[in-house]
Amino acid sequence: MTGAIDLRSDTVSKPTEGMRRAIAAAEVGDDVFGDDPTVNRLEEMAASLSGKEAALFVASGTMANLVAVMTHVRPGDEILLGDQSHIFNYEVAGTARVALAQAHALSNLPDGGLDPAEVRAAIRPPNLHTPRTSLLCIENTHNRCGGAAIPVGHIDELAAIAHGEGLRVHLDGARLFNAQVALGIPAARIARECDTVSFCFSKGLGCPVGSVLCGPAGFIAEARRNRKLLGGGMRQAGILAAAAVYALENNVERLAEDHANARRLAKGLRGLGPFAPNEPETNIVVADVLEGSLEGWLRAFRDAGVLAVAFGPRRLRMVTHINIGAGDIEEALRRVERVAAASPA
Ligand SMILES: Cc1ncc(COP(=O)(O)O)c(C=O)c1O
């Protein structure tokens, strides 16, 4: 067996040689003084690609979302989001603990969207007793909904409802460029009706670190203060921004390969054992395990050299990324086939 085929997440990817050269050659300065030319260049590129006035480089997707929510809401406000969203499930309740916002989770539709009627009904009319509903958060692509790429018409519809009632809209676009490639629609168009959008460099784009929050210039100036409050003001961050610039120039189009690999993986899994995978639209395969224990399968996969994660009581997740080629997918399927034949679980 060669090394383990690591499909736990696209965050496990390691920088390519080209990216490492870009990092080594980065021009840097103190970004808290606004002096880092590479960070400044990255923020200009991100603003332009997302169709927003300005952008702010931050450490992670979690920080981008938290800074966005902190900057959008006043303490005691209510935010609407999906019950399967990353912000609601995996960000340590930062919206409650730091942004002092109350989260009202609405059931996500299986395709990652939200029922427009439910969104409308959840917006509270002004009343002395109630929190102000001030922000709607949407996610695209949708991680827990199997990397679903949400159609732009649905985002526009939700944003129109929110704006009509005076809410703002934040798009968690951790994998926005996967959505761009899957939908064949530019990121700026996908995010057009959203006030702010964040995206990550450290996932499908293959960088070691970094995310960006994009929005109106005044909002981003305030967000910069909130980033500082969180301890997120970085100094010679051009070392990291250089990787992100490189990724935007070199690693966007290739996401189509990750999507094709995910489709191949799901198709192969469907025929191999008691697995019911999704039809991946992007780079995330989620599969329900119909027989045996999830832990047993994950352990057997790991022993055979295929790494996946639990994604619910009977669901596993596998994610394709820049370090995984079509040959690795075939090898992963051969290994899973051997495991399934031995029926360990
Ligand atoms: C949809 C979504 N948003 C936000 C994040 C948070 O990103 P980070 O791990 O960089 O904090 C993730 C991470 O997987 C994600 O999938």
222 shares a domain with 108: yes
Confidence of residue 342 (pLDDT cuts 50, 70, 90): confident
Ligand 1 atom at minimal distance to the Cα of residue 63:
11
Q: What mean pLDDT value characterizes the chain?
A: 97
Residue with CA closest to ligand 1 atom 4: 61
Q: Is the CB of 145 under 6 A from ligand 1?
A: no
Which of 250, 283, 301 is at the close of a domain?
A: 250
* Any domain includes 12: no
**7 contacts 308 by C-beta, under 8 angstroms:** yes
Q: How many of the other CB atoms lie within 10 Å of CB of 1? A: 9
Give dist(CA 230, CA 255) in Å, integer. Answer: 32
Query: Rounded to the nearest whole angstrom, what is the distance from the C-alpha of residue 69 to the centroid of ligand 1?
Result: 15
230 shares a domain with 106: yes
Q: Is the CB of 178 under 6 A from ligand 1?
A: no
Residue with CA closest to ligand 1 atom 13: 61
Q: Is the CB of 84 under 6 A from ligand 1?
A: no
* Any domain includes 309: yes
Look up the domain containing 102 and give its range.
17-250
**69 contacts 61 by C-beta, under 8 angstroms:** no
Q: Is the CB of 146 under 6 A from ligand 1?
A: no
Q: Is the CB of 140 under 6 A from ligand 1?
A: no
Query: What pLDDT digit, counting tens, does each position of 79-108 carry?
Result: 999 999 999 999 999 999 999 999 999 999
Q: Is the CB of 202 under 6 A from ligand 1?
A: yes
Confidence of residue 344 (pLDDT cuts 50, 70, 90): low
Query: With helix as H, strand as E and coil as C, how does the chain read?
Result: CCCCEECCCHHHCCCCHHHHHHHHCCCCCCHHHCCCHHHHHHHHHHHHHHCCCEEEEECCHHHHHHHHHHHHCCCCCEEEEECCCHHHHHCCCHHHHCCCCEEEEECECCCCCECHHHHHHHCCCCCCCCCCEEEEEEECCECCCCCECCCHHHHHHHHHHHHHCCCEEEEECCCHHHHHHHHCCCHHHHCCCCCEEEEECCCCCCCCCCEEEEECHHHHHHHHHHHHHCCCCCCCCHHHHHHHHHHHHHCCCCHHHHHHHHHHHHHHHHCCCCEEECCCCCCEEEEEECCCCHHHHHHHHHHHCEECEECCCCEEEEECCCCCCHHHHHHHHHHHHHHHHHCCC
Q: Is the CB of 200 under 6 A from ligand 1?
A: yes
338 shares a domain with 234: no
Query: Rounded to the nearest whole angstrom, what is the distance from the C-alpha of residue 61 to the centroid of ligand 1?
Result: 5
Q: Is the pLDDT of residue 1 over 80?
A: no
Ligand 1 atom at minimal distance to the Cα of residue 175:
1
Q: Is the CB of 61 under 6 A from ligand 1?
A: yes
**56 contacts 213 by C-beta, under 8 angstroms:** yes
Ligand 1 atom at minimal distance to the Cα of residue 142:
1
Query: What pLDDT digit, counting tens, does each position of 304-316 carry?
Result: 999 999 999 999 9
Confidence of residue 246 (pLDDT cuts 50, 70, 90): very high
Which of 235, 250, 265 is at the close of a domain?
A: 250
Work out how many domains the chain is built from and give that number: 2
Q: Is the CB of 195 under 6 A from ligand 1?
A: no
For 109, residues 6+ apart whose C-beta sits below 8 A from its C-beta are 115
119 shares a domain with 239: yes
Which residue of 11, 143, 213, 286 sits with most ligand 1 atoms within 8 Å of its CB, as the best mutation to test the pocket?
Answer: 143
* CATH for 191: 3.40.640.10
* CATH for 308: 3.90.1150.10
